[in-house]
Structure 1
């Protein structure tokens, strides 16, 4: 599944409204929209895929190919 780059570019950190970066375990961070489809296809339940906000240092999990952009789900990194 590939999401449109226009949609990905509109996502922002719910806490500070900063840009989000896709992070997959074992791979370097990718700016949102670059390689995103590959990351989502590789995402499986229990995987380590996340969206990171480098400004406020929060990581939001991606579960079942869906970014969980809730402050309650975020963790500090």
Structure 2
């Protein structure tokens, strides 16, 4: 199941309520990224997991 990008208009970062960007890794892993908090939220089977405890920190270059 693919992530519906139309959801980006209504989803927000659960920490700062800011904008999320859709990204994929070269390995095919999908995530939603909050650049302000530098967190990447995983997408599991097309469903975004917007829990701060599940988010992975990212570097400023990612």
TM-score for both structures, normalised by structure 1: 0.64
Shift of the 4–75 alpha-carbon distance from structure 1 to 2, 3 Å rule, reads closer
Instruction: Note closer, same or farther for the CA distance 1:18–1:76 as it changes in structure 2 (3 Å cut).
Output: same
Shift of 1:2: 6.6
Structure 2 unmatched runs, 5+: none
| Change beyond 3 A, Cα 1:48–1:16 | same
Q: Give the helix-richer structure, 1 or 2.
A: 1
1:75 aligns with 2:56: yes
Alignment match, 2:14:
14
**Once superposed, which parts of structure 1, at least 4 consecutive aligned residues long, lie more than 3 Å away?**
1-4
Question: Rg larger in 1 or in 2?
Answer: 1
Find out whether 1:49 has 2:49 as its counterpart: no
Tell me: CA distance 1:15–1:62, structure 2 relative to 1, closer, same or farther (3 Å): same
Judged with a 3 Å threshold, the aligned counterparts in structure 2 of structure 1 residues 76 and 2 are, in CA distance, closer, same or farther, namely: closer
Unaligned 5+ runs, structure 1: 27-46
Displacement of 1:10 in angstroms is 1.1
Count of aligned pairs between the two proteins: 57
